Structure 1
Amino acid sequence: MSTAMPFDLDATLLPAVTAVVKDAGVTLRERYTTHARGVSLKEVVGEIYANDEAVLAVMREPLLQARPGSQWAEDELAGGALPPGEWWIVDPAEGNVNHVHGMPDWAVTATLVRDDQPILTVVHLPLTGETYTATAGGGAHLDGRALSVSAKSDLGAALIGTGQARPGESTETFRRIGESVTAMLTAGLVVRVSVPATLQLIQVAAGRMDAFWQFSDVRSGLVAGALLVTEAGGTVTDLDGKPWNAAGRDFLAAGPGVHAAALDVLSAI
């Protein structure tokens, strides 16, 4: 396994990954329509799979070649720890359900994870052309401009978000989501409930939102945002307050001034 330092990630790998993700974004944008595609569940799922297949075809081999010795995490909805080494966790259409319904909230993401810790990420929004990047120890950036999380210290003034990681979660998970939204509506200023997670987490990293939480272990929706928020000066933990990694389940990312208060609200759910 490579023992590359952040300079290697920043100077050599990040430009290559950014190019691959932007190229994939062209493919996904070409497939986009402003009307919904599919009526039945089977048709909607078929459109989602077609997006994934088309975009992965232009991402997989270039990313593996860009980082010799890296491996590919096949299931984008999987969770839990990965084997040792470096792994690409890619979402070819983060917010795929939005894409196939003609909505604008979707992106292409690629994150390199080493021993369950994200060390490099690129998130590209093809409709706006924005590209969010981060490397471990190298900071978080939007099109080259450094990002910083919110400086708020009052949860009562906070704009907070959450969402559903995937269809078919357990009834217990749905119960926790509902109860946590109620609790945060009481404790915070405004709560957004939407998908995908990454498009809320980039707002936390940019200081536009103050916190985001999720009850899920779907790695592909969390690793990119976790690194962006951390490198922008935020705090990312599980709901026990322990440092989060890709093997974790519950997730909270927030500006440091409101993290403890958000954790107090959510840990009781």
Structure 2
Amino acid sequence: MTAETTPIPGLTEDGQLLTATIDAVRTAGERVREQFTADARPADLPAIWAALAANDAISNAYLRDALLAARPGAGWVEEELDSSLLPDGEWWVTDPVEGNVNAVHGLPDWAVTATLIRDNRPVLAAVHLPMTGDTYTAVAGGGAFQNGTPLNVSAKSDLRSAYVGTGQAQPGENAETVRRMGESTSAMLTDGFVLRTSVPATLQLTQVAAGRMDVFWQFSEVRSGLVSGALLVAEAGGTITDIQGRPWTLASDDFLAAAPGVHLQAVTTLSAIR
């Protein structure tokens, strides 16, 4: 399947575009996987940065051309660590290797993501995990899926039974963000059941969408790490807000995704962190 795939009868325009997006993230992911080795052991910071850049270049060499061909006229966000609102219209927000730090250390927890943003709202997303072969997809109003199987968030109603998670958005977080991360982690260790701390955010959000986890929150907005997972969770029936419980946007300073039955309890716990 390629960007020139013959249209499938009955699919919406975004549904047709999704087939090309899936092909793009799978192909880019396979090209990175061919270079992956579980024996990777970068020796120092320059080696880490060089390995990160090499993986991104391999993925982007295919991903960018494929997605721009699939949606002529859509813009392309160059910097994956950007935040804040985009100009109106359509934009591709991608992470060529989401969880790249894992990949360059020989860990399998990484993905390739592509999300179409329309007037600052995610409307289509594909997330491919090359090491497992799983592909998560969502189109606004059309549900969320793992390998074609519908996803639903959990039915839990008590935060004390919730499997909760958070993570570091990027290297070099400022002191205020680090403080909030620490305080929120302590609070959730008390109020939740079990806490998971890992990167990348997208992989935790796929678990919330699938009902295997119940809450994910993050300080320090990084757009590319949240938009695909936000759409997946929302389309699986979850609630997406900021930590104060206000509607989340690309300009929000923080992020919360939760099963509806525990969302307000999570807000109560996290909103106390100032």
TM-score, with structure 2 as normaliser: 0.95
Match of 1:65 in 2: 69
Q: Tell me how far 1:217 sits from its aligned partner.
A: 1.2
Query: Which one of the candidate residues 113, 117, 125 is aligned to 1:113?
Result: 117
Q: Tell me how far 1:154 sits from its aligned partner.
A: 0.4
Match of 2:138 in 1: 134
Query: Which one of the candidate residues 74, 87, 94 is aligned to 2:78?
Result: 74
Letter in 2 for 1:98: N
Matched, 1:261 2:270: no
Matched, 1:125 2:137: no
Match of 1:169 in 2: 173
Matched, 1:178 2:194: no
Q: Tell me how far 1:69 sits from its aligned partner.
A: 1.1
Once the two structures are superposed, residues 178-210 of structure 1 have per-residue CA deviations (whole angstroms, 9 ceiling, x without a partner) of 000000000000011110000000000000000
Q: How far, CA to CA, are the matches of 1:99 and 1:135 in structure 2?
A: 28
Name the Cα RMSD after superposition. 0.9
Q: How far, CA to CA, are the matches of 1:255 and 1:42 in structure 2?
A: 40
Q: Which piece of structure 1 moves more, 31-40 or 130-139? A: 31-40
Q: Tell me how far 1:245 sits from its aligned partner.
A: 2.0
Query: Which one of the candidate residues 15, 21, 24 is aligned to 2:25?
Result: 21
Match of 2:215 in 1: 211
Runs of 4+ in 1 over 3 A off after TM superposition: none
Q: Which runs of 5+ in 2 are unaligned?
A: 1-10
Q: Which runs of 5+ in 1 are unaligned?
A: 1-5
DSSP 3-state at the match of 1:134? strand
Query: Which one of the candidate residues 52, 57, 65 is aligned to 1:53?
Result: 57
DSSP 3-state at the match of 1:58? helix
- How many pairs align? 263
CA contact (8 A) 1:237 1:252 kept: yes
Q: How far, CA to CA, are the matches of 1:125 and 1:14 in structure 2?
A: 16
Q: Percent identity among equivalent residues?
A: 61
Match of 1:95 in 2: 99
Match of 2:12 in 1: 7
Letter in 1 for 2:213: M
Matched, 1:201 2:205: yes
Q: Tell me how far 1:8 sits from its aligned partner.
A: 1.2
Q: Tell me how far 1:31 sits from its aligned partner.
A: 1.4
Once the two structures are superposed, residues 127-152 of structure 1 have per-residue CA deviations (whole angstroms, 9 ceiling, x without a partner) of 11100000100100011110000100
CA contact (8 A) 1:36 1:101 kept: yes
CA contact (8 A) 1:116 1:247 kept: no
Q: Tell me how far 1:108 sits from its aligned partner.
A: 0.5
Q: Tell me how far 1:70 sits from its aligned partner.
A: 0.2
Q: How far, CA to CA, are the matches of 1:31 and 1:108 in structure 2?
A: 14
Letter in 1 for 2:148: G
CA contact (8 A) 1:82 1:247 kept: no
CA contact (8 A) 1:120 1:136 kept: yes
Q: How far, CA to CA, are the matches of 1:27 and 1:246 in structure 2?
A: 30
